Each structure stands twice: as structure tokens, then as C-alpha cells.
């Protein structure tokens, strides 16, 4: 069978040299708790007997490359320690409390950096895949922030880990349309996910169905926000974080069943087939090339820039996805350093993660050694691929820019400060090989 090809592209586009679109505020907010790999062992042994599937998941969990996953509670949180797994009603109530708080904090930081009047926010574009309430969580975030209740809002669903980038793309298109009408646009973009509370739901499937499910090893909690401006009207107080050069959306053909997040009476269930890393790595290069072709200002003497001419804000979906893209694009760890750091320190926070990586890239240490141009990239259910080309503005951040409330540093931990990472760069880590069988990962001890 021939490899999947890309369809339903935003092909044939050409972006003008100056879209006058910029990100003028950017922030992430992580909750105060950090789940280490041993915490999954503790929770599993507390509620479930040993089994072949559970033993495999626990073994895989030790070698994901994640040092800790940010979470709204520790391993003793009541929501994951009930006699039965929490219902979707309980999970909704928790999201509307914890998720809204995280979102408000992330938005306040992004809005503060922008420095404008809240009443000048014209649109709010939000996304989540871990809640489906009506009205959506964005409604309550807007109320808490005090934004004009008549600001146009859109809540994106069904796009999982690509949601943050899809929301930025949507915001950029809206802002560009407003520019055509010579109207100001200041668009607040928000992504929030509360994934850690699905641990018992995942363990139920592992126990009862003897399924090897790795989502429980990867996902974490966070909110991220940014403000996108079209430059029309009042001047933005502090200048751009990033200038937006162009974007691209593609769908990988015949991949509908490979990546998903299905609703369940006990929450949502991650679908992650063995083909995802291969599909991502095979399709990233042609999509990147088409993106760069569409942005003439990036061309040099008629030639296209190389992937190595950019820093990469890649959504860290998993270590194999990161290293697969790294290999496919012939780039080095240093080009993906922010993705590795966020992945190791926080895990995969789904749609909220890519903006966290973008935020990390503007810390002084990353600016000093980094490239002027940045490519942001994410993969989500569909499989959707999202790309955005950015040029750094003048702003850098320092200190706890990613919203840690427990005093952890945002920089590399000491063992990673030399630019080397513990990701599974060749599929091996500490004697364990992660392979895939029948759509599920299985480990082989060497």
C-alpha cells in the first residue's frame, strides 16, 4: 500500500511581505503540582491488580522522556481516588472550576503584556478537547476577565493537540479580514486542557480490556493564551512578541482513525495508533516546503531557506514524534530545544502546549543562541497538520514566564543544560525498545 498523501490543503496561497499581523502578548499557566513517573505506579497499585497490560504501561511510563507532568492535583487528589472512576459530570464540574481558573490566569498575563484596554478586544478564539459544556468554558473566562460580552467568540472543538495552532490560524484569518475592512482587530486566543484527571478512566480500560494505552503516560494540564493584533487603530503599547508571516493547514489522507480523543462515560479516551509517528515524519517535510514557498519574504536570492534556518516550536506530542520530525527535517536537537524542554518538564498538555513552546523560545538563553525565524508546528486528530511561520519581535522574557507556581525554574534542568536531551532519539532508552503491535505500543526488554 502506498504511503498516505496530503489532501484538503490551503494550497496556492501567497502571503504578502508584510501582513501587519503580530502576537503582542503571550503566556502559559501551569498548575502547581507535578506528577513524576512513580506516581502512576502508586495510583495503579492502589486501585488495580497486576496484569500484563498494566505492567507494560507502567514500564513504558518510565521511559517516555518526561521527568514530570503538570497537574491540578497530586496522586492523592480525591477525583482519582474514588471507589469508582469519576463520571463525565464530575469531570465537567472540575474543568469548569480548575480549567477556568488556569485560563483566566494565562489570559491575564497575555493581556497584561499586550497592555491594551480590555474593551478593545474584538474577538476571543478558544479551544479545548477535554470539555464539551454549553455554554463553553470560554464564556465564563470572558465574564471573569471583564471583556466586553459582545466581543465575537468562537470555541473550536474536535482538533485535539493541534487546537492551539488552529486557534491562532483562525485568529490570524479574522484579523486579516478586519484589515481588509480597515477595522481594528485585537484577538485573544486561548487553549486549556485538564487531562490528568482521566487517569482512572484510562486505567479502567487497561484493566478491564487489557489494552496497552500510553495516553496516561503523556498528558498533562495547562492553559496558554496570546493576543493577535492587525495593527489597525490604536498603537499596541509594547511591540510584537512575534510577527506572523504565514500559515498552512493540511489533512493527511486516510488517517481519520489513527489519532483521536473519543467521548466516554468516564471522560475521554485517547486513540493513538502505531502509524502516527511515521505519518507525522513523512508529511512534515512537504508541508513545510509548501509553507515556505508561500512566503516570498523568506526566500533568499530565489532559493528557499532550509529547515535549519529556523527555530522550531514543535508540539511535543511524544518523544518518537519529536525525534521523527527532527530526523525528517534534518535538524538538530538545538533547533527543537524548547520543545524538548517543555516536554520533559511538563509533558504533553495537548492544545495548550505549542504556545508554551513559543513562549519558552523567547527566554534570553534561547534568543541568544536562536534563529530570527521560527516555525510552529502541531499535529491533531484527522490527522490535521498546522504550521505557522513567525519572525521574532523585540521582546524576551525572564524568570517564571511559563507560570510555574511552585518555584521550579523554566530553564533546562542541570543535566540538560548542555543541549543534550533524554528523548528516545533512536527508539531506545535505558535498554527498552518501544514497538507497536495492532495499533498499540508494546515494549521489549533488551
Distance CA 232, CA 20 (A): 9
Distances in Å between the alpha carbon of 185 and those of 146, 173, 239, 290, 323? Answer: 18, 11, 15, 28, 38
- H/E stretch holding 432 reads strand 432-437
Instruction: Kindly write down the DSSP assignment for every residue of 333-387, as one continuous string.
Output: GGGGHHHHHHHHHH-B-GGGHHHHHHHHTTSHHHHHHS-SEEEEEEEETTTEEEE
Which triple of cell numbers denotes residue 392? Answer: 521574532
Task: Give me the active site residues, please.
Answer: 161
What is the spatial distance between Cα 229 and Cα 220, in angstroms, rounded to a whole number?
A: 30
- Cβ contact 317:400 at 8 Å: no
Strands 69-71 and 267-272 come out as: unpaired
Rounded Cα distance between 17 and 298, Å, is 9
Helices (H), 115-162: 137-145
Amino acid at each position: 500500500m502506498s504511503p498516505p498523501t496530503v489532501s484538503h490543503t490551503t494550497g496556492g496561497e501567497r502571503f504578502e511581505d508584510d501582513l501587519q499581523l503580530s502576537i503582542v502578548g503571550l503566556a502559559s499557566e501551569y498548575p502547581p503540582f507535578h506528577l513524576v513517573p512513580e506516581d502512576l505506579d502508586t495510583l495503579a497499585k492502589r486501585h488495580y491488580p497486576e496484569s500484563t497490560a498494566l505492567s507494560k504501561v507502567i514500564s513504558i511510563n518510565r521511559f517516555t522522556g518526561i521527568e514530570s507532568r503538570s497537574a491540578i492535583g497530586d496522586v492523592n487528589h480525591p477525583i482519582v481516588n474514588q471507589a469508582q472512576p469519576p463520571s463525565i459530570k464530575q469531570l465537567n464540574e472540575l474543568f469548569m472550576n480548575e480549567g477556568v481558573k488556569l485560563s483566566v490566569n494565562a489570559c491575564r498575563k497575555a493581556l497584561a503584556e499586550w497592555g491594551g484596554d480590555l474593551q478593545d478586544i474584538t474577538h476571543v478564539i478558544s479551544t479545548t478537547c477535554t470539555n464539551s459544556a454549553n455554554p463553553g468554558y470560554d464564556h465564563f473566562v470572558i465574564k471573569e476577565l471583564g471583556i466586553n460580552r459582545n466581543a465575537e467568540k468562537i470555541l473550536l472543538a474536535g482538533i485535539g493537540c493541534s487546537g492551539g495552532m488552529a486557534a491562532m490560524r483562525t485568529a490570524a484569518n479574522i484579523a486579516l479580514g478586519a484589515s481588509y475592512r480597515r477595522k481594528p482587530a485585537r484577538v485573544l486566543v486561548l487553549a486549556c486542557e485538564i487531562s490528568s484527571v482521566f487517569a482512572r478512566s484510562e486505567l479502567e480500560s487497561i484493566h478491564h480490556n487489557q489494552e496497552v494505552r500510553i495516553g496516561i503516560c503523556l498528558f498533562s494540564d495547562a492553559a496558554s493564551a496570546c493576543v493577535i493584533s492587525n495593527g489597525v487603530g490604536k498603537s499596541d503599547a509594547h511591540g510584537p512578541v512575534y510577527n506572523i508571516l504565514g500559515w498552512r493547514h493540511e489533512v493527511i489522507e486516510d488517517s481519520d482513525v489513527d489519532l483521536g480523543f473519543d467521548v466516554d462515560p468516564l471522560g475521554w479516551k485517547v486513540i493513538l495508533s502505531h502509524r502516527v509517528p511515521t505519518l507525522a515524519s513523512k508529511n512534515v517535510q512537504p508541508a513545510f516546503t509548501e509553507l515556505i514557498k508561500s512566503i516570498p519574504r523568506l526566500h533568499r536570492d530565489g532559493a528557499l531557506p532550509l529547515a535549519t534556518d529556523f527555530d522550531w516550536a514543535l508540539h511535543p506530542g511524544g518523544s518518537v514524534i519529536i525525534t521523527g520530525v527532527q530526523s525528517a527535517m534534518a535538524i538538530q536537537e538545538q533547533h527543537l530545544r524548547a520543545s524538548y524542554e517543555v516536554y520533559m518538564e511538563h509533558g504533553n498538555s495537548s492544545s495548550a502546549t505549542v504556545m508554551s513552546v513559543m513562549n519558552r523560545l523567547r527566554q534570553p538563553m534561547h534568543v541568544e543562541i536562536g534563529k530570527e525565524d521560527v516555525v510552529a508546528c502541531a499535529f491533531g486528530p484527522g490527522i490535521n497538520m498546522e504550521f505557522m511561520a513567525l519572525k521574532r519581535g523585540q521582546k524576551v522574557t525572564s524568570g517564571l514566564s511559563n507560570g510555574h507556581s511552585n518555584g521550579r525554574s523554566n530553564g533546562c534542568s542541570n543535566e540538560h543544560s548542555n543541549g543534550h536531551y533524554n528523548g528516545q532519539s533512536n527508539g531506545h532508552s535505558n535498554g527498552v525498545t518501544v514497538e507497536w503491535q495492532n495499533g498499540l505500543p508494546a515494549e521489549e526488554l533488551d
